[in-house]
Structure 1
Amino acid sequence: MKHNLCRTLLLFAGVFLFATIDAHFKTTPQSPVHITETDELVYKSYPNGDRIPDFSFCGYRQSEYPIPWVDAKVYVPVVDGDATGLIQQALNYVASLPMEPDGFRGAVQLAPGNYELKGKLLMRADGVVLRGSGCHKNGGTVLRALGPMKDELIRVLGYNNAKTEDTIHIAGQYVPVNATVIPLKQTATLKVGDKIRIVRPSTAGWLSVLGTDRLGNEQEYNFSKWTPGRHDMVWERTVVAVTSESITIDVPLTMSLDPKYGGGYILPLSWTGRINNVGIENLCCDSEYDHTNLKDENHRWQAITFNHVKDGWVRRVEAHHFAGSAVMVLEGAMQVTVEDCKFLYPVSEIANHRRYAFHTLGQLTLFQRCYSEEGYRDFTVGVAVPGPNAFVQCHSERPYSFSGSTGGFSNGILMDKITVSGGIIQLGYRDMADQGAGWVAANSMCWQGRASQTHCVTPPTAHNWAYGMWTQPFGNGHYELSHTFVKPESFFYAQLAARMDKSSMEEKKIFVYTTDETTKPTPEYAHWMSVQSLKPDMRMDVWIDSMIVTYPLEITQNNAPLLNEVNWRPEKEKHVVMAEPLQVKNGWIVRGNHILINGTYFRKNIPGTTGWQGKGSLSQFVPGRTGTGYTEEPDSVAQVLLLSGAHVLHHRTGLWYERRRNDHERNMHADAEVWAPFNEMPYSRSGQGEAQDRLSKYDLNKFNPWYWNRLKRFVDVADRDGLVLLHDHYNQHNIIEEGAHWCDYPWRSANNINQLGFAEKTVFSGDKRVYMAEQFYDITRPVIREYHSKFIRQSVNVFHDNNGVVHSIGLEYTGPLNFMNFWLEEVNACDNHQLVALTATKDVQDSVLKDKKHTLMVDVIDIRQWHYRADGTLYEPQGGVSLALRQHARLIDPGTVSCASVYRAVREYRCKYPDKAVVYNGSTIRVPRNAMNWAIFMAGGSFAKIPPIDELPVYEKASSFSPIDRQTDMDTQWVMGAVGKGYLGYCVKNEINLDLMGDRETYKVFWIDPDKGTVIKEDGSVRGGGKVILKAPAESSICFLQL
């Protein structure tokens, strides 16, 4: 292999022996960048001071130093079976070593061969390198990623504990593109070496000039237009000089700061948790996949991700068969170099957010000599990313989409010697695409590239440039010397040499394009080229291999000890104490003796989602991105739930897979340009045909392992931490009322391969409403019954060794009695099934509860579809008439409820069915002091939205209490208790009257705030045996009598 590559290089070098004419045309002095006769770059500023930015700061240590060689401190041989734990222990061992003067602790050296990894590797410490023994599958180190996980194989992740200090305002003058001097109103608090964030706000005035505040204005539901604050640019810089009026920063700005559009401001920054000097090199990552489905997505998506990292690298890494990326650099990372890497043989749907081979959301990242085949967006910068970021000598072969910027005015992008064979370089305008991409790039440069098309525009308030492009040009950007070879060969390395006043060794690795004069070839040249034409042209994948041969890494694994030879022992796993089992006791839903409540759970909206989407979701998926509003880890969701004082997470399947359907249109989509975040469905795609979203159709016989594993992982945590998953099996909104909810639903015949027999095309009433409930619930049809049975049993059996689940047919269920009975029977047929809630219209609910057979299958009565009005009348929609709740409410006035009417409903069913728990999720109104939710609880309702009470064991003691009707007056007080155990009362006024006749115990008296759950007064004690009147410290307070 080495001999062949060297021979290839010599042949290509021979081309230049025939070059006799300088075909590198020059620019004029009036050009934004003038190329002189000596191939130097001279910049001409625009009248406002803007100029082409200096991109050369990108990369590891701003490309001022080469990537170092780090000695191995431990050697990990190939082992049989899962090697995840062994390699992770080796990484942890090196992370425990002291930092050496060069800023590194050491490397983990892997052997040649195949390592199977069922989990992921996590690198969280400074100064650690993971190194293989070669990046090719034959003879190198292969990390074989197994299992249906959709996340990355290797995650390099620091700690997101960045803190900013008080705002420092920038002086009200124009700061041009490429500026390093920032005028300030005052600089007293800043000093040389300080880390800062420079913020350019996205003001309403600026968005108006861009026109992006009007994107999608014709949509019924507009999630595309830009709004102030959502496209702020935030650069991270270091102060290198300070005067009384200004500071100087280390890296130029890639956008102007214009006082007409809000100017900018500075936030001093400290970030102790960000890690430095981390690298991954010389190995191959390979993802397992379903070989019968070449669009399979139930496997790994990213090979490597970086976040909260400064100064890192990935070099000489190949990624095979991944669905998402070889390397994804996220927004908390900067100064990362990715070089000599390949993304090959991707396996996924051909659709957006897949096959982003090399993608960055970070700053100062450098991708050089990288190659991708059959990707989607191979070399891309994400939305609203501040620059600079550089792609140098990268090649995209036969992509399905573009390279460049995905949207949002990302700025300071350099596409230097980029080849996009059969695709587009995108620095243009994308309008509503990708939820409002708009102007995708600003102050960005294409230099000496090749692409089928180049889209380069001049956006308002900014510039874009394209020099020496061999392409079909689109847009009004500054094009110059098109279809011409230009010198210097690389813009990045010319800028770096000018800044450093010396050439970089990386310039030796630039593949120089052939520039011979071909209009008047000599016979000798024609013969020589005829010989060369017998071989394929040089391509970047071959060039990368040649660089690996020419500049080898010297692997010395024999000098490093094995893990069992070093004096280190991993931390022992902590013993996990499980919570008490979930059960119904004394009419309450409890774990042990603790009544479970559902306090307010803070959940954060993210752009492009409706009110209930994208918040604390177990089935939401954003490729490569983890955290609130993205792909949320089940244990993180549980932690937020615990911190809020709530116990219950309500899960239901999303209305559609992707966000384009947010517009509620009912057409088949024009393409597969799907919008994230994704609502993963319970079913897997088949790889066959096209569904309405233009991805392949679902197979209802194949469940989505990622979806069900996520629910299972949450319940595992719930059983440890005392939480509950309220699991809706169905989302009836898919089949009744709004037609858009049916459009992409997996059960629709157009969207699956299973021949369910639903008519196509679907009839939409008024081209809007859908009426599929009658067919969907028709279990007299064997095929419908079969697939319902499979799904219900999957929904239960996945939790066969858990107890922290309450199963519900679905919060919106208004279907018929026979389907409810069928659902109960199917759940009951599963061994070790968990608690079952009865959610239905009142007529269906009552029929089930009166049925001796089916009432035994119910543990929890969920009052949700009906209520007593404040005037005492009953609002009672009927089940099985193919109407949704909102449609019923348009036919029958629901009226309003009161605390008394809600209390009545809960108390009535607690009395009728004392062995069952009751929860109330019906109509409520906002009343002071949380009285509505306390009314639910005081009537005996579980899962009430009341606060945790940490100072007293109220909910433990109350599990033995029952409402005391004779002491309850809805106008003044609600009381529950048990003789000899204690009492709890909610006093509406400023006192509470308790009848303690027959109770001889003495009780301590506590008053509790009903909103906060805090003790507001400790009020001595009372002795039983008579009636007592206790004065409340405030109206609407909780009184607790503790034995």
Structure 2
Amino acid sequence: YYAQLKDRIGNDADTRNIVLPVETEASSSPPVDVAQKLTKLSIKPALTLLEFIDKAPIRNPIPTTENLKINETYKVNTPVKPSLAPVMAIKNGWLVRGNEVVVGNRQDVQWWNGSARPYGLKNSKAHITRFVPGRSGKGLTDDLDATTDSMKNGSVKILDHNYGLWYDRRRDDHERIRRMDGDVWAPFYELPFARSGQDKAWDGLSKYDITKYNLWYWDRLKTFANLADQKGLVLIHENYFQHNIIEAGAHYADFPWRTANNINNTGFPEPVPYAGDKRVFMAEQFYDISNANRRAIHKAYIYKCLENFNDNNGVIQLIGAEFTGPLHFVQFWIDTIKEWEKETGKHPIIGLSVTKDVQDAILADPNRATVIDLIDIRYWHYQEDGTAYAPQGGQNLAPRQHARLLKPKKTSFEQVYHAVAEYKTKFPDKVVIYSGDNFDSYGWAILMAGGSLSNVSGISAANLTLAATMKPFLLGTTKQYGLANAGKAYILYNSSADAINLDLTKAAGTFSLKIQNTRNGSILKEEKVNAGSIIKINKVGNGDEVIV
């Protein structure tokens, strides 16, 4: 054990190597001098384990000083209050920290598969609620301080988190069998609910009590949110994870809401009616809030999702990962949030991340639209030809199942701009983000349409501050886009081969003009231009260009 420990943590293991000493050898043919030495040692009784333990104060004495109280001997340092990044808030329809539009690469978390062995660690991603007992680091129990430092200094600024598909790695085999024992395999993807200590769930551990919560899971999320507020990061908190209730039967096997896995009488059918003895179609029942018992559990859980972050500002609440559920469940989710906000006086950032039909229905409902701060275009997109790929909500199909049926075509820069600009025009005071088809390839389209959380690179803090004061507009030529604080500042994007003609006839003074590379922000050309006329800005190179 200590040899393995030393391999893992180095020489620090020596300080923990406290074992009963064996100071003699057991050779069957010792030299004469060794035989003489062992003969002398045989006069004394062997050291017993009890005696060895009793001598612990001699090996590691506790320092004492006469006439001093313990609180005078051991001073407790007053914790230093951490400095905070500027508050994340919504201003002028943008998501900002302080005065800067929030941008950055986005990463989700691993929610199945993985190994705590060396070969399984090298390709692992940062996580919040992954747990490997006694081990920390990449692919193990993440050091959240180190993780957030890495994010602060790197390109990933946004972590999109949902709970695990199942707790332990045995279920990665995608079988539906009941486990014979609780001999679980790490890494564990922790779940929101506490175990009851009663009976046995399908995974061999005790059943869940889904009215009580896994304190470690929620504390980890809270710790990450606190660090995000210190380091200027964003946590997207997905309340639910639809993957458990659709597609492969194994997704549902260990699900805490399954009747066989909890002590709360959730009322779902047992044995589970797997379609074709293989597939699961439990979405309609799960989203049915007419069952009073389940409705109360849902409500309490949504309250927990909100109250866990009630003094954080860098958290965006979404209904759930892979959510293609029905309108009525989204209405219930929003109504519950509205009640919580009324009771607490708190107003977290609430995002609407649903199918297009459900999104439009909620935004057309004045009583519920007021709760929504952020529109996430995730489960639909405009295709390259301008038609919408927009599967309906509540059809009991996962996003990838819809895609197999409808066979969506790819989007384009122009169509990403179209989608974001459409919703920014309709709802100018709400934040719009784009998480749909190939979103990470179209950061500039998102930003130029007025969208937040784009992954544009090479844009300075000063320009992000300027952007927060601007609104999108179109120039006369196709493939030319603009953001403007009219007469004061402009950010232009030219993906055409033509020059941009910018109307400054109503402006006065001199403008500093910089033409930049869209990929790294390097300055291609810099000059001064006089306002009072239409100025022509010629292309410098062949690629797309940003003009500030």
Please, what TM-score do these two structures have when normalized by structure 1?
0.47
Q: Which amino acid aligns with 1:959?
A: A
In structure 2, the residue corresponding to 1:785 is in which secondary structure?
Answer: helix
Aligned counterparts of 1:702 and 1:509: Cα–Cα separation in 2: 61
CA contact 2:327–2:393 (8 Å) conserved in 1:
yes
In the other structure, the counterpart of 2:49 is 544
In the other structure, the counterpart of 2:431 is 917
Q: How does 1:1014-1033 map to 2 (within 5 A)?
A: 1014-1033=521-540
Aligned counterparts of 1:899 and 1:818: Cα–Cα separation in 2: 33
| Aligned equivalent of 2:275, options 746, 765, 768 | 765
1:588 paired with 2:290, answer: no
CA contact 2:245–2:281 (8 Å) conserved in 1:
yes
In the other structure, the counterpart of 1:998 is 506
Count the aligned residue pairs. 535
Task: Kindly state the Cα deviation for residue 1040 of structure 1 after the two structures are TM-superposed.
Answer: 3.7
For residues 556 and 878 of structure 1, do their structure 2 counterparts lie closer, same or farther at Cα, with a shift above 3 Å needed?
A: closer
Aligned counterparts of 1:692 and 1:998: Cα–Cα separation in 2: 71
In structure 2, the residue corresponding to 1:729 is in which secondary structure?
Answer: strand
Task: Kindly state the Cα deviation for residue 550 of structure 1 after the two structures are TM-superposed.
Answer: 7.5
CA contact 1:658–1:676 (8 Å) conserved in 2:
yes
Task: Kindly state the Cα deviation for residue 635 of structure 1 after the two structures are TM-superposed.
Answer: 2.4
1:856 paired with 2:350, answer: no
CA contact 2:159–2:235 (8 Å) conserved in 1:
yes
| Aligned equivalent of 1:865, options 365, 379, 384 | 379
In the other structure, the counterpart of 1:160 is none
Task: Kindly state the Cα deviation for residue 825 of structure 1 after the two structures are TM-superposed.
Answer: 1.1
Query: As a proportion of its length, which structure holds more helix?
Result: 2
1:786 paired with 2:296, answer: yes
In the other structure, the counterpart of 1:309 is 11
Aligned counterparts of 1:553 and 1:720: Cα–Cα separation in 2: 45
Q: Which amino acid aligns with 1:741?
A: H
| Aligned equivalent of 1:987, options 479, 491, 494 | 494
Aligned counterparts of 2:27 and 2:269: Cα–Cα separation in 1: 59
Aligned counterparts of 2:265 and 2:123: Cα–Cα separation in 1: 30
In the other structure, the counterpart of 1:475 is none
Q: How does 1:11-410 map to 2 (within 5 A)?
A: 307-310=9-12, 312-314=14-16, 337-340=17-20
Task: Kindly state the Cα deviation for residue 746 of structure 1 after the two structures are TM-superposed.
Answer: 0.7
In the other structure, the counterpart of 1:138 is none
Aligned counterparts of 1:648 and 1:958: Cα–Cα separation in 2: 19
CA contact 2:164–2:190 (8 Å) conserved in 1:
yes
Aligned counterparts of 2:38 and 2:182: Cα–Cα separation in 1: 42
Q: Which amino acid aligns with 1:1039?
A: V
CA contact 1:989–1:1035 (8 Å) conserved in 2:
no
CA contact 1:919–1:942 (8 Å) conserved in 2:
yes
Task: Kindly state the Cα deviation for residue 886 of structure 1 after the two structures are TM-superposed.
Answer: 1.3
Task: Kindly state the Cα deviation for residue 595 of structure 1 after the two structures are TM-superposed.
Answer: 0.7
Aligned counterparts of 1:829 and 1:966: Cα–Cα separation in 2: 44
In structure 2, the residue corresponding to 1:940 is in which secondary structure?
Answer: coil
> Which deviations, in whole Å up to 9, do the C-alpha atoms of 1:12-50 show, x marking residues without a partner?
xxxxxxxxxxxxxxxxxxxxxxxxxxxxxxxxxxxxxxx
In the other structure, the counterpart of 1:799 is 309
For residues 602 and 828 of structure 1, do their structure 2 counterparts lie closer, same or farther at Cα, with a shift above 3 Å needed?
A: closer
Aligned counterparts of 2:324 and 2:195: Cα–Cα separation in 1: 29
CA contact 2:109–2:162 (8 Å) conserved in 1:
no
| Aligned equivalent of 1:711, options 193, 207, 221 | 221
For residues 860 and 955 of structure 1, do their structure 2 counterparts lie closer, same or farther at Cα, with a shift above 3 Å needed?
A: same
In the other structure, the counterpart of 1:117 is none
CA contact 2:90–2:96 (8 Å) conserved in 1:
yes
> Which deviations, in whole Å up to 9, do the C-alpha atoms of 1:882-939 show, x marking residues without a partner?
111111112212122111111111110110111111111111288xxx5x22111111
For residues 674 and 869 of structure 1, do their structure 2 counterparts lie closer, same or farther at Cα, with a shift above 3 Å needed?
A: same
Q: Which amino acid aligns with 2:50?
A: D
In the other structure, the counterpart of 2:516 is 1008
In the other structure, the counterpart of 1:1035 is 542
Q: CA RMSD in A?
A: 3.7
Aligned counterparts of 2:42 and 2:254: Cα–Cα separation in 1: 53
For residues 556 and 1020 of structure 1, do their structure 2 counterparts lie closer, same or farther at Cα, with a shift above 3 Å needed?
A: closer
Aligned counterparts of 1:760 and 1:771: Cα–Cα separation in 2: 14
Task: Kindly state the Cα deviation for residue 864 of structure 1 after the two structures are TM-superposed.
Answer: 0.8
Aligned counterparts of 1:508 and 1:825: Cα–Cα separation in 2: 81
| Aligned equivalent of 1:579, options 80, 85, 98 | 85
CA contact 2:487–2:504 (8 Å) conserved in 1:
no
| Aligned equivalent of 2:467, options 958, 983, 1006 | 958
CA contact 1:686–1:697 (8 Å) conserved in 2:
yes
Q: Which amino acid aligns with 1:906?
A: V
Q: How does 1:596-995 map to 2 (within 5 A)?
A: 596-599=102-105, 607=115, 615-830=125-340, 831=344, 832-924=346-438, 930=441, 932-947=442-457, 949-950=459-460, 953-967=462-476, 969-970=478-479, 973-989=480-496, 992-993=499-500, 994-995=502-503
For residues 607 and 1028 of structure 1, do their structure 2 counterparts lie closer, same or farther at Cα, with a shift above 3 Å needed?
A: farther
Aligned counterparts of 2:69 and 2:204: Cα–Cα separation in 1: 51
Q: Which amino acid aligns with 2:464?
A: Y
Please, what TM-score do these two structures have when normalized by structure 2?
0.87
In structure 1, the residue corresponding to 2:15 is in which secondary structure?
Answer: strand
Task: Kindly state the Cα deviation for residue 827 of structure 1 after the two structures are TM-superposed.
Answer: 1.4
Task: Kindly state the Cα deviation for residue 683 of structure 1 after the two structures are TM-superposed.
Answer: 0.6
Aligned counterparts of 2:191 and 2:219: Cα–Cα separation in 1: 12
CA contact 2:381–2:419 (8 Å) conserved in 1:
yes
> Which deviations, in whole Å up to 9, do the C-alpha atoms of 1:720-753 show, x marking residues without a partner?
2222211100000111112211111111111111
For residues 998 and 788 of structure 1, do their structure 2 counterparts lie closer, same or farther at Cα, with a shift above 3 Å needed?
A: same
Task: Please say which structure displays the higher CA radius of gyration.
Answer: 1
In structure 2, the residue corresponding to 1:999 is in which secondary structure?
Answer: coil
In structure 2, the residue corresponding to 1:886 is in which secondary structure?
Answer: helix
CA contact 1:1005–1:1039 (8 Å) conserved in 2:
no
Aligned counterparts of 2:417 and 2:95: Cα–Cα separation in 1: 18
For residues 816 and 974 of structure 1, do their structure 2 counterparts lie closer, same or farther at Cα, with a shift above 3 Å needed?
A: same
Aligned counterparts of 1:509 and 1:870: Cα–Cα separation in 2: 92
For residues 767 and 551 of structure 1, do their structure 2 counterparts lie closer, same or farther at Cα, with a shift above 3 Å needed?
A: closer
For residues 651 and 611 of structure 1, do their structure 2 counterparts lie closer, same or farther at Cα, with a shift above 3 Å needed?
A: farther
In structure 2, the residue corresponding to 1:741 is in which secondary structure?
Answer: helix
Aligned counterparts of 1:650 and 1:791: Cα–Cα separation in 2: 19
Contiguous gaps of at least 5 residues in structure 1: 1-54, 60-232, 237-305, 315-336, 341-367, 369-391, 394-486, 513-541
CA contact 1:796–1:833 (8 Å) conserved in 2:
no
In structure 1, the residue corresponding to 2:350 is in which secondary structure?
Answer: strand
Task: Kindly state the Cα deviation for residue 999 of structure 1 after the two structures are TM-superposed.
Answer: 2.1
Aligned counterparts of 1:602 and 1:511: Cα–Cα separation in 2: 62
Task: Kindly state the Cα deviation for residue 710 of structure 1 after the two structures are TM-superposed.
Answer: 0.9
CA contact 2:6–2:13 (8 Å) conserved in 1:
no
CA contact 2:327–2:394 (8 Å) conserved in 1:
yes
In structure 2, the residue corresponding to 1:339 is in which secondary structure?
Answer: coil
Aligned counterparts of 2:323 and 2:467: Cα–Cα separation in 1: 31
Aligned counterparts of 1:502 and 1:809: Cα–Cα separation in 2: 78
In structure 1, the residue corresponding to 2:385 is in which secondary structure?
Answer: coil
In structure 2, the residue corresponding to 1:1025 is in which secondary structure?
Answer: coil
CA contact 1:645–1:948 (8 Å) conserved in 2:
no
> Which deviations, in whole Å up to 9, do the C-alpha atoms of 1:964-1010 show, x marking residues without a partner?
1244623xx22212123311122224664133232224222223332
CA contact 2:514–2:526 (8 Å) conserved in 1:
yes
In structure 1, the residue corresponding to 2:285 is in which secondary structure?
Answer: helix
Task: Kindly state the Cα deviation for residue 1020 of structure 1 after the two structures are TM-superposed.
Answer: 1.8
Aligned counterparts of 1:909 and 1:964: Cα–Cα separation in 2: 14
CA contact 2:252–2:280 (8 Å) conserved in 1:
yes
Aligned counterparts of 1:878 and 1:576: Cα–Cα separation in 2: 46
Task: Kindly state the Cα deviation for residue 552 of structure 1 after the two structures are TM-superposed.
Answer: 7.0
Identity of aligned residues (%): 38
For residues 757 and 313 of structure 1, do their structure 2 counterparts lie closer, same or farther at Cα, with a shift above 3 Å needed?
A: same
In structure 2, the residue corresponding to 1:790 is in which secondary structure?
Answer: helix
Relative contact order: is structure 1 or structure 2 higher (C-alpha 8 Å, sep ≥ 6)?
2
CA contact 2:129–2:190 (8 Å) conserved in 1:
yes
For residues 781 and 602 of structure 1, do their structure 2 counterparts lie closer, same or farther at Cα, with a shift above 3 Å needed?
A: closer
